[in-house]
Homo-oligomer: A and B are copies of this chain.
């Protein structure tokens, strides 16, 4: 399922979301993350040794829930096949950093070697499921 323009606009104006993965024991694991959207793909910057990355490598799936900051709290949950990107992460990491810093343009990417040495990876979700969605109005 593709992301509608209304949901895209909502995501693009809300840079944080709650990522959920499933642990080896079959339990949900949640953490707050900054993310960015590129088409129907959601990108999160993390470290290879973090649980979220290990859960995705094992399970191949993740969910991201995003909400607005005021009542009635508009929200959207998106889920899909997820993967860990280890190569060429500089430009993607810069796109996420742009959201963290609230910049109009992405900062200059860091060198790939430095990112690799730090264990920096991109967790990518290719959105297949959209919903539940609440209080996001059709344009």
Contacts and interface: CB of A to CB of B under 8 A. Distances in A.
Contact of A27 (B29, B65, B79): B79
Interface in A84-139: 132, 134
Interface residues of A, number: 27
B16 A67 contact: yes
A16 B65 CA distance: 12
A31 to B, nearest CB: 5
A59 interface: yes
Contacts of A64: 30
Contacts of A67: 16, 18, 32
A28 B22 contact: yes
Interface centre among A16, A29, A134 (most CB of B within 10 A): A29
Contacts of A28: 20-22, 28-29, 61-63, 79
Contacts of A29: 20, 28, 63
Given A20-B28, A63-B27, A63-B28, A70 B69 contact: yes
A26 B26 contact: yes
Contacts of A20: 18, 20, 28-30, 63
Interface of A: 16, 18, 20-22, 26-32, 59, 61-65, 67, 69-70, 73, 75, 77, 79, 132, 134
